[in-house]
């Protein structure tokens, strides 16, 4: 629809940041943060995962891809440096994984993203990459911490209403994601349709990157039981594309924004194959000596 009927593009693009904040607010309202933090008692595991998700994997992918295409490498760095998607617990549930662990990964990576994402781009500023890390930190802090604080205030003020209506929040977030992708697609319509061959190649490479992220996520959880492996893999592969789209629209060239929008293709289509693969993978108790 964004490519076919691009209407009110400027208006919708101006709403990307507040829309993402509303989406995160609804996620925080629906999530019992205290319960999630209590569920995650393995602090070494969480430190290990956050370090890999937010720093090591993005840097390694950037270094490798930068040998071939710098623009694509920057886009993948931005995409993979994002926190786990707000829908990570729901996706993990579909694949029969550990929902509590997935929720913890989503919350904790969201909280550290304002610090790690600007630091990564500041680190790579050696090649005149025109990114203001302070402005990016400010944007990420506003995007994450304001919805978090508001959610705590609202849940304390009207807990009954939140509990009664929280089942509707996911549907609202689906609509918000639709508007964000519609706006981003429409705003870059000419660039996408004017270079369709290049766009197709980008989509192909994005699928390869996402498949690699599934494999990496599964491998870094080699000592965990199957349910944890699923949660860790989902957290590795299904990053917060909405946040990436917002940051790309504010801080990056249009070509990077296009790449973030195109990432919706593998993001929305690879869960079913991953679920099927997980059905055929049997994990024996010998693979995880303790039942954490």
Residue 287 lies in a domain: no
Joined tokens for residue 140: 């990420």
To the nearest 10 degrees (0 to 180), the angle between helices 254-262 and 169-187 is 140
Residue 290 lies in a domain: no
CB 283 within 8 A of CB 218: no
Alpha helices (H) in 52-168, listed in sequence order: 57-66, 70-80, 88-94, 99-123, 133-157, 159-165
Residue 286 lies in a domain: no
Residue 288 lies in a domain: no
CB 124 within 8 A of CB 271: no
Residue 123 lies in a domain: yes
Residues, the chain, total?
292
Break the chain down into helix, strand, coil percent, rounded to 5. Answer: 80, 0, 20
Spatial separation of the C-alpha atoms in residues 29 and 163, rounded to whole Å: 9
Domain tally, the chain: 1
Q: What is the pLDDT of residue 67?
A: 92
Residue 292 lies in a domain: no
Residue 260 lies in a domain: yes
Spatial separation of the C-alpha atoms in residues 170 and 163, rounded to whole Å: 13
| Short-list 53, 251, 55, 258, CA closest to 136 | 251
Spatial separation of the C-alpha atoms in residues 229 and 98, rounded to whole Å: 8
Q: Per-residue pLDDT for the chain (292 aa), expressed as one digit of tens each?
A: 888 877 777 788 788 888 888 888 887 887 777 766 766 667 888 899 999 999 999 999 999 999 998 889 999 999 999 999 877 887 888 888 888 888 889 888 988 899 999 888 888 764 555 566 677 788 888 888 898 899 889 988 898 888 888 888 878 888 888 888 888 778 778 877 877 888 899 999 999 999 999 999 999 988 888 889 999 999 999 998 888 988 888 888 888 888 998 998 898 889 999 999 988 876 544 444 444 4
Domain residues for the domain of 21 are 9-281
CATH number of residue 139's parent domain: 1.20.1530.20
To the nearest 10 degrees (0 to 180), the angle between helices 16-30 and 169-187 is 160
Residue 289 lies in a domain: no
Half-sphere exposure of 185 (CA within 13 A, CB side): 17
């Amino acid at each position: 629809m964004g490519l076919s009927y691009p209407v009110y593009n400027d208006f919708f693009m101006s709403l990307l940041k507040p829309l993402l904040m509303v989406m995160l607010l609804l996620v925080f309202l629906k999530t019992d943060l205290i319960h999630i933090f209590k569920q995650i008692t393995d602090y070494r595991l969480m430190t290990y995962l956050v370090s890999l998700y937010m720093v090591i994997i993005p840097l390694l992918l950037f270094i490798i891809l930068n040998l071939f295409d710098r623009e694509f490498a920057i886009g993948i760095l931005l995409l993979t440096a994002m926190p786990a998607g707000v829908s990570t617990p729901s996706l993990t549930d579909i694949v029969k994984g550990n929902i509590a662990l997935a929720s913890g990964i989503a919350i904790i990576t969201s909280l550290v993203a304002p610090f790690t994402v600007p630091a990564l781009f500041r680190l790579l500023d050696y090649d005149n990459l025109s990114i203001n890390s302070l402005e990016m930190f400010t944007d990420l802090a506003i995007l994450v911490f304001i919805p978090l604080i508001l959610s705590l205030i609202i849940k304390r003020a009207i807990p009954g209403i939140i509990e009664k209506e929280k089942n509707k929040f996911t549907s609202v977030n689906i609509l918000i994601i639709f508007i964000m992708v519609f706006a981003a697609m429409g705003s870059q319509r000419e660039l996408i349709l004017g270079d369709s061959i290049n766009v197709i190649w980008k989509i192909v490479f994005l699928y390869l990157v996402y498949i690699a992220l599934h494999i990496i996520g599964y491998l870094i959880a080699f000592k965990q039981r199957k349910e944890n492996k699923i949660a860790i893999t989902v957290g590795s592969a299904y990053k917060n594309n909405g946040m990436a789209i917002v940051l790309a629209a504010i801080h990056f060239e249009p070509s990077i924004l296009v790449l973030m929008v195109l990432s919706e293709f593998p993001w929305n289509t690879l869960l079913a194959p991953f679920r099927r693969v997980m059905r055929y993978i049997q994990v024996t108790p010998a693979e995880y000596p303790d039942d954490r």
